[in-house]
Structure 1
Amino acid sequence: MSSTKILYVFLIASFCPGQLPGQNLIPNGDFESFEQCPTDEGHFEGYATDWVTFFGTPNYMNCDYFGQNPAILPAPHSGTGLSSCVWFDSDPTPPNVTREYLAYPLEAPLRPERYYGAFWIYTLPFQVITQNYQLLLTNSAGLVFDDDILLAVPDLSNTEFLPTGQWVKIGGCFEADGDEDMLVLGNFTPDEATVYLDTVIGFTDFHFIDDVSLYRVASLVPADTILLAGQSYFFDTTAYRSYELEGSLVSGGSRVFEVPGFYEAVVFLDECGQIGTFTIEVQDCSGVVSRFDDSALVSTDYCAGDRLSVVLPVAEEVEYYIGQQLVAGTLTLDTLGESYVYAVHTYCGILDSAVYNGLDCSQVEQGSCYYVPNAFSPNGDGANDRFLVQGQCQVQSFHLEIFDRWGSQVFISNNINNSWDGVCRGEPCVGGVYTYFLSITFRDGLAAFQQTESGEVHLVR
C-alpha cells in the first residue's frame, strides 16, 4: 500500500443505479410536437408531427387553437396538444359522416414479441359512444378498405361503454407478428357490428384522443443492478408500471438499501399483470477493501531508463489504471517523472494507489554523494535486477546491511560496488519490504565526512 497520500482527480465511468424506462415507440404520442400551428378545424396531417390520416378531417388542437366550440373541449390529458375525431356515424340516412383514422408510421417494424399499447380517450355525454374504440398495429402495405372503412382485427378495444366527460385509458398487451410498421387508431368494425349508444343531439361518435403509447414489454423490465450499502434505487412508475419487493408493493420513487444482500423485484404492467423480475444486489465496500491485497502498489523511486516491473494481482471487479489508461498483468515503467497508479473497484472506487517516480540517476542531486533506490525487481530481465547504492564522490569506507521483516540479516557488504541480487541464504527472497542500514565515509580532498541512514527497499517479484 502506498505510504504517500495522493490528491488526484480520477475519472471513472459513473455508476447509475436503475434503468431508464422503455422507449415509447410513438414519440409524438402526446401531440405536443407540431410542424405548424392549427388555425381551423380539419387541420391535422401536416400539423401534428409524424401523424397522418386516411379519410376525413380529424382536428389537431394546440398553440391556443381549441376549435370553433372551445366550451366542449376538455383540457388535454397532458401538455397542451390533443386531437379530436369521428369514428362512427349512427345516422341510418346516407350519406354518413366519413370515419376518421389517426395513423402513426413507426420508425422500424415491430419484432415478433410482446408489446403494450395504450391511448387516452375523452367522450362527450351528448354524443354517440361505442364499444369500438380500437388500436391496430398493421403493415401499411396490407391495408384493406371498404367504403372508407378500414377492415381489420384490432389489437386493443374497449369491451364496455366508457364513462363520459372524463379521460379514460384503453390499454393492454398483445403479441406482434413482426412486420407491423404502423399504429392506427379508429373503429375497424363494420357499421352493422358496431355496438353503440345513441343520443338525441347527434348521430356521430365525436371524441378526443391524447397520450398514445407503444412499448416493448421486455424493455419495461429494469436490468439487474448492483448498489453499495446506503445507496438508493429509483423505482420508475412511468409507462404504467408498478413493483413488488419482498412481498410488499412499492409505490415508486427512491428507496435506500442499507443491508447487503440480493433483493428480487417483481414488475407489473397495467392490464397485463406480472411481466418480469430483476435483481438488486447490495454490496458492502468495507468487505471489498479488507479482502484486497494492498501490498502490490508501493510508491517507489527508480532510475529512469532502467525498467521497473510491477505485477498487478488479479482481483474480482478490480482494474488498474496508470493515470486514466487501463493496464493489466505486469506494469513496466522506465520513464522520467511521476506515474500515478490506481487499483479501482467497479463499484467501490479506488482501493489503493501509489506514485512511481523515475529519477535521473546519471546526475546525483547537488550536495549529495550517493543515491539509494527504494525498489528493484530481480526477475532476470537485465533491467533493475539488483539493489545497488550509487555514489559519485570518493568513498573511503562503506557498510550496508539488509534485514527481512523478521529481523534476519539477508545481505551485508563493505564494498559500494557490491549489489544485492535478492537472494537470501542461497534461495530467492520473497517479494516485499526489506530494511537497510547504511554508513558511508567520503573523502573530499584532505577532509573526510560520514553519512548514515536507514530506510526501506521494496523487492518486487
Structure 2
Amino acid sequence: MKKLKLFSLVVIVILNCICKNTYAQNLVLNPSFEDYDTCILTQIGYGYPIINNWVNPTQGTPDYFNFCSSNPNCRPVANVFGSQTPKFGNGFSGISVFSLNQSGTNPSSEYIQGKMNNKLVKDSIYCVKFYLSLADNRKLSIDRVGICFTNTQAISNTFFFPFTSNIESELNYFFTDTVGWMLCQGIYRAKGGEQFITLGNFNSFSNTNSVLSGTPIGDFRDSISYYYIDDVSVEMLPSYIASLDLGSDSILCDTIGFTKILSVPQVYDSVRWNTGATTFNITVSTIGTYSIIAYYGECAVKDTVAFSLFNSGIQLAPISDTAVCKANTPVRFSVANGFDTYLWSNGDTSSYTDISQPGIYFVQAGNQCFSYADTFTVTIFEMPPPPLTADTALCEGAPEPLATAVGENLQWYANTSDTSLLPNTPTIKTNTLNEQYFFVSQTINGCKSAKATFTTRINALPQMDLGSSIRACEGKFIELAATKNLVASYLWSNGDTTDAIMVSADGTFSCTVTNACGSAEDAVEIVFVDCSNCLYVPNVFSPNNDGSNDFFQVYSNCPLVSFRLKIFNRWGEKVFEATNENNRWDGYYKGILQEAGIYIYTLSLTNELGQTSNAKGSITLVR
C-alpha cells in the first residue's frame, strides 16, 4: 500500500547554522529575507515594500529583523521579542500565530507570503522547508503551523486569510525551542500552476493546541505565541527520490516460515527504520508495521508497510434446507462476510442470493486463507385455495350453531383484516333479523390461503294478524291484507293464494301464511250493515252514579268517518261537545253537575260511504 506522506510537516531541531548541500533549485525568491530596498528602522506592518518578493497578505502586522537596523527592536538580537541568530545571512521574519485572548472560528494568525520564480508542475513532488524558532519573550508554543500554495497572490483586507493549508505540522508536536532553529519540512504533490507560498497558522482558536514553554513571565507574554521564520525553500525532488515504496501491505494466513526483506534504493543520503536500523535493507520475520524515513539533503520522505495475520472473524454456520410459501418468496440466503469471492449456483457473486424457485443449490466462498462450500434444498409450497363455504339461512330464535367451512387449520376473522382474528369459531346469533358475515382462511404446509366469506341470513318466523272484527256499510268492499312475510306463501279460506283479498259479504275469513320457518294463521269476522238508518239517540239519562243510565251517548252500528255532537242548556250555552261516537256526557259542565231539565243537541255525521246525516233534538237530564 502506497503511504507516501504528502501533506504533513516533519520537524527536525537544528542547533547550529550549518546547512547541508542542496540537491535542487530553491524556487522561493529571497528565501532568507536578505534582499530589501531600505534597511528597517522601526517596527511597521509587513506590507511596507522593504523585503523584496515578500508581502503581508492580511491586516496583521508581521515583523522583519535585520542586523542592518540601528533600532534595537528591529535587530535579531535583544529585540522586543527576544534574541536569535539568523539561520542564514543577517535577517529573518517574525509572526504572531496564536493568542489565548482571541476566539472564534477563523484563524488568529499573522502571515507572510512569498513568490516563487516558476510555477509548480502538476503532479510533481516538491520538498518544502522552512525554519522557525520560538521567541524568548513569548512563552506560548503551538502545534499548528502550515503552508498554503496559491496560483495567484492572495491578499485579504481583513485579519483572516481566506485559504486553508496544503501542508501542516503534525498534531500535538509543539514548537518549543527558543535556542536553536527547528526545521519543518514536508512533501507536496503539486496541483499545477502554484506560484505563491503563504506561511502561518491556518487553524481556528478551538483547533489550535498550545502549551506554556519555559518559566512563565507572569504577564500578557505568557498568552502569545510568536515565532521567527527563516530560510524558506521549495525544491522539486527527482522522481526516484519521491517514489519511496516499501510495497503493499500483506495479510498472512500464518507466520510459519515468514521472512521478508525490506529494501529501498541507495539513492538517499541516509535512512532510519522504526526498528532503529539505518541500513538500506532489513530482514523482518515477525508481523507488524514497519516504516522508514529516507533523507535526501534536508528533505525526508516516508513510507510504511504492514504485515498482519489474517483474522477472518467469520462466524460460519451451515445453510439449512428451507421450505417456504410461494407468497414469501424470494427468500434470502447468505454467507458470512469476510470472504473475497462468492459464487452461488444461480450465478450470484455477492455474499447473499435471493431464491424464488425450488431446487437444490450450492454456494462456494473463499479468501486467501480459507474456503467454504455448502449445499441446501429449497422447497416452495403453492398457496392453498380459500376454504369452501356455503351461504346459510336460519330461523329467528333457532338454536345458535357455529359457522362452518371445509378446510385445514381454519382461522376465522371478523372482517378482511388479519388483525380481526377471532380466538374461536364464531357462533351465529339468531335473536336478531339480519345478515351475518364472517371470513375464514385455511393453512396447509404453513401457507395461509386468502379468506373466504361465510354468510348467514336470519329469517323471521311467519306472522299473521287480520285484526279484530270488522263492521262495514252495505255496498262497500273490504280489503283483507295478510301480514307481509319474506319468501312466503298464502292460503285464504276462500281458496285465494294472494297476500290480500276483497270482501263484500258477511262472513268469517281466515288466512294461513307459510315460509321456511313454519306457518301462522288468523281469522276475522266481517259484518255489513244498513248505513242509511244506523243511529240511536236516547232522550233521557240520570247522572246520579247509581250505575244505570248515568251517561248520555249516541249509538251507531255503522262505520263513521266523521262525528260531531253538541249539547246546549236552556240559555243556549254549550255544555258538551264530542267528535267521536264513543264519547259520552256525564252531566257535568265546568266541574258542576248541571240542573235537571231539557237540553238541546245537534248531531252531524258522515258514514264510510260518504253519506252525511244531520239531526237535532232534546234530551232530559233527570236527577
Q: Same fold (TM over 0.5)?
A: no
Indicate the TM-score class for this superposition, using the shorter chain for normalisation: 0.3 to 0.5
TM-score, scaled relative to structure 1: 0.42
Q: Considering Cα pairs closer than 8 Å and 6+ residues apart, tell me whether 1 or 2 has the greater RCO.
A: 1
> Rg: which structure is higher?
2
TM-score, scaled relative to structure 2: 0.32
